[in-house]
Structure 1
Amino acid sequence: MKAQAVLGSAAVGVGLGTLLLPAVALADTTVSPATTPVGGTVVLTATTCNPKDGDVIFHVTGPNRDQNVRSTTAAAGGGLSAELFTAGFTLGTYTVAATCGNGSSAGSAQFTVTPIGGAPAGGGGSSDGGTTAAVAFTAGGALLGAGATGLVVLLRRRRHAGAVA
Structure 2
Amino acid sequence: MKAQSVLVSATLGVGLGTLLLPAAALAETTVSPATTPVGGTVVLTASCNPKSGDAIFHVTGPNRDQNVRSTTAAAGGGLSAELFTAGFTIGTYTVTATCGDGTSAGSATFAVTPIGGAAAGEGANADTTGLLAAGGTLVGAAAAGTLALVRRRRHASTLA
State the alpha-carbon separation in 2 of the partners of residues 96 and 114 from structure 1: 17
Paired position in structure 2 for 1:162: 157
Paired position in structure 2 for 1:44: 44
Report the CA distance shift for 1:157/1:64 in structure 2 as closer, same or farther (over 3 A): closer
Partner secondary structure for residue 162 of structure 1: helix
Partner secondary structure for residue 117 of structure 1: coil
Paired position in structure 2 for 1:29: 29
Q: How many residues align?
A: 124
Q: CA RMSD in A?
A: 3.4
Larger radius of gyration: 2
Which residues of 2 match residues 71-110 of structure 1 at below 5 A?
Answer: 71-110=70-109
TM-score (norm 2): 0.64
Per-residue deviation, residues 61-86 of structure 1 (Å, max 9, x unmatched): 11221211110111122110000011
**Structure 2: stretches of 5+ with no match in the other structure:** 120-137
TM-score (norm 1): 0.62
Higher relative contact order (CA 8 A, sep 6+): 1
Q: Report if aligned partners of 2:26, 2:105 keep a CA contact under 8 Å in 1.
A: no
State the alpha-carbon separation in 2 of the partners of residues 33 and 159 from structure 1: 54
Which residues of 2 match residues 139-154 of structure 1 at below 5 A?
Answer: 153=149
State the alpha-carbon separation in 1 of the partners of residues 157 and 82 from structure 2: 67
Per-residue deviation, residues 115-143 of structure 1 (Å, max 9, x unmatched): 110128xxxxxxxxxxxxxxxxxxxx9xx
Runs ≥4 residues deviating over 3 A: 24-27, 155-159
Partner secondary structure for residue 45 of structure 2: strand
**Structure 1: stretches of 5+ with no match in the other structure:** 121-140
Which residues of 2 match residues 2-13 of structure 1 at below 5 A?
Answer: none
Q: Which amino acid aligns with 1:30?
A: T
Report the CA distance shift for 1:80/1:26 in structure 2 as closer, same or farther (over 3 A): closer
